[in-house]
Amino acid sequence: MTLQHIKVIGFDADDTLWVNEPYFRDAEEKFCDLLEGYLPRHTINRELFAIEIANLPVYGYGIKAFMLSMVEAALKITGNKMPVDIISKILEIGKTQLDQPVEVLDGVEDVLKSLTNKYRLVVVTKGDLLDQEKKLTKSGLTKYFHHIEIVSEKRPEDYQKILRHLDVKADEFLMIGNSLKSDVLPILDIGGYGIHIPFHTTWEHEKVDVIIDDPKFRQAEHIIEILQYL
């Protein structure tokens, strides 16, 4: 895959630029600790996940949406007899998560430094606007990016809208991220390029079981590997 004609490179944020998903897994464990007197832990996790997915069209992605889903799940699990202190503990779990330091992944800043004067770099991420803006600021990476897009979904039509805004053709755009579902498949669908960099843990909702046979796709084990294509 040769990418000499690429003009704009998009980077996912969570679990591509910095650590994110492990904090959600830790929050889920704490949530199960609160409610393990009502149901087995695997059942609590299943109920929470089902409510999270049902709430996506209403609340979108992010920690605040997750907090609301935890409250709803706790009400369901306890048969609407949840002790009041559980609500305060759920809020504490969420606030702790919001206050986590931003841990930039190894190699990320070296790659951005190498590319920032050669390409237009953009962030394309899902999530809560305020939370994602705060993480970008905390990361110290904002200076490398020409543009930031915080979107509610990453569908082909969402990428097309971003490309129109950037005034770039699909085959001049490369998207890099840890999710095949959100960062790679949609951009390939509209004729762009994608590089998948798996993270060691992935949210169940982002998992897809596909084999991609597309000359515009590559998979890398570490972000530093993308430099061989650019």
Distance CA 141, CA 99 (A): 18
pLDDT-above-90 percentage for the chain: 87
**Same domain, yes or no: 29 and 128:** no
Q: What is the largest CA-CA distance in the chain?
A: 61
Q: Looking at the 3D structure of the chain, how many domains does it have? A: 2
Q: Return the CATH number at 220.
A: 3.40.50.1000
> H/E element holding 175?
strand 173-177
**Same domain, yes or no: 52 and 128:** no
Segment 190-228, tens digit of pLDDT: 999 999 999 988 888 888 888 898 999 999 999 999 999
Confirm whether 2 is domain-assigned. Answer: no
**Same domain, yes or no: 33 and 121:** no
Whether residue 1 is predicted with pLDDT greater than 70 in this model: the reply is no
Residue-averaged pLDDT of the chain? 94
Q: Which residue has the tokens 């998207």?
A: 175
**Same domain, yes or no: 143 and 221:** yes
Confirm whether 189 is domain-assigned. Answer: yes
φ/ψ of residue 73, rounded to 5: -65, -40
> H/E element holding 26?
helix 21-35
- Write out the residue range of the structural domain in which residue 84 sits: 21-98
Distance CA 183, CA 131 (A): 20
Instruction: Report yes or no: 22 and 212 within 8 Å, Cβ to Cβ.
Output: no
**Same domain, yes or no: 127 and 207:** yes
Instruction: Report yes or no: 1 and 193 within 8 Å, Cβ to Cβ.
Output: yes
pLDDT-above-70 percentage for the chain: 99
Instruction: Report yes or no: 167 and 145 within 8 Å, Cβ to Cβ.
Output: no
Distance CA 146, CA 6 (A): 15
Segment 16-20 mean pLDDT: 96
